[in-house]
Amino acid sequence: MAKYADPAAERLLHRHVKLFLVYRCKSLYGAPEVLPNLVRNVVEHFMTATSQASGTDREAYMDRVCDAIVNHCRANMLSSLAIKPTPIVRRRFASDPIQVYCLAIAILMKEKELVSHYLSQGVSVWDSTAIFEMPLKVAAKLEAIEFVAQLLEDAKSSLTKSNRAKSMSHLRIIINRTTRSEHWDIAIIVIDWWFRHLRKPHPATIVSWVKKAAIVPTTEFLHRILDHGHTSATKHALVELLYCHHAIQEDGGRSRLARALIDRNILDPSKYYSHPGAVFGSLLALAVEQGDIKLATGYLKLDLSPNGLRNSEGNFEHPLVRAVVKSDETMVRLLLDHDADPQPAQRWISKVIEKPDEEPTKSFMDLLRCDWRAKMKPTLSIVAMVRQAAQAKDRRRKEAFTEA
């Protein structure tokens, strides 16, 4: 008949399941006994561990244990456990050590004394139960940083060769959860413990964490990941992430990542990078392509050429040309203010405005790296800025020639 249970009755049970559970725990007869027996056993353990004996203390523990179960039981299990536990669930309950339940519930109750007691008894932080995840995940989900740190201090003692791979999987889940909810302090603790006690994460895993960390202004987690030693494969993947077209689109994220990589000698800003399927060239060319003023400014502060780097043919990239093609007025002004050569951009403007039907040479197209058929035209203000800069450069050259 449970198959045809009234949905309204089930919703009613969900709303009042704690009242139901407390009543069942105090009742001597009736079925099912799965949750009531669990509550009684956990309360007895807590009373013994804290040397309590009064009925008032027992009542208080029972209320808090019921709260923990009702509010933190695995999803979609509560009603079935309360009214129709299956034989499989009953067997699972019978095989779960009661101490693991006690540790998980002590964390949910935020009882540091009880948590310390069960850790001292050798309860593993890696064991899960029928209704709770492993204690370390419980603490992380509760966002209880003090308990996460306490559990990790004890985690090494219960870490065996056979469960190292499993523990890495659990830690990966915790980090993904905490970074998604932006609880960076917990993620930092877990990352540090991982690098101290387990083999280094896979490069793709590190890249996924770095990507999440770079898109938010909080940079401590980003720096903490990069501060650990990394393999050459991981370093290559991190630079590739920086250069990837759509990897980091949030304002300032690419600049934050570039700065962090440069500070740790993972990225050399004076090097011409090339990655399949990604933007290639100097960091300045990347900044212009992405329209990232912060990244471009950071590059220029390193006193590197505003004309970019030399390509394999020995020619400068001239990112100013690309900024003009994209009609990025802010970027054009920035590059000109840093003495970028305006002549290549002026030549491009002349061809677009004065000779729009003339097909440019192949080498010039390679320099521009844009689709000529798009016929992109710069704004009048950009045209004026570039022409003024080109004329000023011509005057300076003539003056220098005359003086010579």
- Cα–Cα distance measured from residue 346 to residue 225, given in angstroms and rounded to the nearest whole number: 44
Listed range (23-37, 166-180, 352-366) with the worst mean pLDDT: 352-366
Percent of the chain with pLDDT over 90: 48
Residue written as token pair 């399927």: 277
Token digits for 388?
């003024």
Most confident of 1-15, 112-126, 236-250, 349-363: 112-126
Listed range (2-6, 322-326, 334-338) with the worst mean pLDDT: 2-6
Secondary structure (DSSP) of 51-90: T---HHHHHHHHHHHHHHHHHHSPTT-HHHHHH---HHHH
Question: What does the pLDDT read at residue 278?
Answer: 59
360 has pLDDT over 90:
no
Beta-bridge partners for 57: none
Question: What does the pLDDT read at residue 186?
Answer: 94
Question: What does the pLDDT read at residue 363?
Answer: 45
33 has pLDDT over 90:
no
- Minimal CA–CA distance to 200: which of 223, 176, 168? 168
Model confidence at 192, pLDDT cuts 50, 70, 90, reads very high
CA 117, distance to chain mean position in Å, is 34
